[in-house]
Amino acid sequence: MEQQIEPRAHADGRPAEEGGANLGDFRERSLQRGVNPLLYWTLRALFVPTFLIYFRMRRIGREHLPKKGPLLLASNHRSFLDPFVIGTLVRRPVYYMAKRELFEKRWQAWILNGLGAFPVDRGAGDGDAMQTARAILARGDCVVLFPEGTRVRRGPLGRPRRGVGRLALETGAPVVPVAVSGTENVRRGWRIRPRKVRVRVGAPLRFPTAGSASPALAAGVTERIWACVSLQWEWLGGVSAGEHRERRAPASAMRRMRDGRATTRKAREPVPESAAAADGERGDARAA
């Protein structure tokens, strides 16, 4: 039986309908109708050869992906292209959360929803989006989650939020760690540049089902999942948080050393005669 999603107000108090269509309608459409088959499979047929040729995309570890049944893909997030790149890994529709601002334009909302996106109100603990994801997994489909919650374009991976652990525990769906590298270099303004993109898939992780996962338990499972995502990321050549700190430390020391030398040189510079004479005149005036 399909679950009904009641529309809710945004975190800032605005009604869900303001600035675009009702967000609940798009969640309901993802549950009732799924993706738009004509739009989804046509674009996928165009994306796959384009990514393979133009971006020289490599997909590593696809043998780890279950061909059927509920599936939760947990990935880092570097670019707007990530959902479409990950969507080429499996030969079935994938669903993913997208920030509600992308659904404010009706034509854009229609396209994204037809491609499997459903809205999430980031930073508000959006229960409706989580309920939609649970229902999609319950019917045996695939959901992509970006635990960082936003795009992290440079440097090491960001800190994950515990929603992915909560979903894994409450649904019992296997979680596959995925790392994407190179998509952050593709877009420059409106230009889409031919940059090499790589995707690596790890072995599925399975966790015991918990009807109502506590925050501590969800956080622990999230850390386990994220450690596996980080492993795929580092295999692709990504920088870990520790390496990033080690690289920044010498640079910071060099900057402090340069600043110290500049201060020392400035202190040693001789005072111009005109400035010294002016100081002497001011001193005499104060004495008088």
**Range with lowest mean pLDDT among 71-80, 186-195, 228-237:** 186-195
For the residues 198-226, what does the mean pLDDT come to?
93
Ranges 45-59, 178-192, 248-262, most confident:
45-59
As given in the structure block, the two tokens for residue 228 are: 């596996």
Q: What is the pLDDT of residue 243?
A: 57
pLDDT over threshold 50, residue 64 = yes
pLDDT over threshold 60, residue 279 = no
Q: Read off the pLDDT band of 124 (50, 70, 90).
A: low
What amino acid is encoded at 127 in this protein? G
**pTM of this structure:** 0.77
CA-to-CA distance for 220 and 109, rounded, in angstroms? Answer: 35
Q: What is the pLDDT of residue 9?
A: 47
pLDDT over threshold 90, residue 263 = no
What percent of the chain shows pLDDT beyond 90? 61
pLDDT over threshold 80, residue 274 = no
For the residues 42-56, what does the mean pLDDT come to?
96
- To the nearest 10°, the Cα dihedral for 63, 187, 157, 65? -10
Q: Over the chain, what HEC string results?
A: CCCCCCCCCCCCCCCCCCCCCCHHHHHHHHHHCCCCHHHHHHHHHHHHHHHHHHCCCEEECHHHCCCCCCEEEEECCCCCCHHHHHHCCCCCCEEEEEEHHHHCCHHHHHHHHHCCEEEECCCCCCHHHHHHHHHHHHCCCEEEECCCCCCCCCCCCCCCCCHHHHHHHHHCCCEEEEEEECHHHCEECCEECCCCCEEEECCCECCCCCCCCCHHHHHHHHHHHHHHHHHHHHHCCCCCHHHHHHHHHHHHHHHHHHHHHHHHHHHHCCCCHHHHHHHHHHHHHHHC
Query: pLDDT: is 47 or 273 the higher one?
Result: 47
Instruction: Please name which of 206, 203, 201, 262 lies closest in space to residue 75, comparing C-alpha atoms.
Output: 201
Q: What is the pLDDT of residue 115?
A: 96
Q: What is the pLDDT of residue 213?
A: 80
Q: What is the pLDDT of residue 81?
A: 94
pLDDT in tens, 5-37: 554 444 444 444 444 568 888 999 999 999 999
**Range with lowest mean pLDDT among 130-144, 192-206, 223-237, 272-286:** 272-286
Look over the chain and give the mean of its residue pLDDT values, rounded to a whole number: 83
Q: What is the pLDDT of residue 261?
A: 67
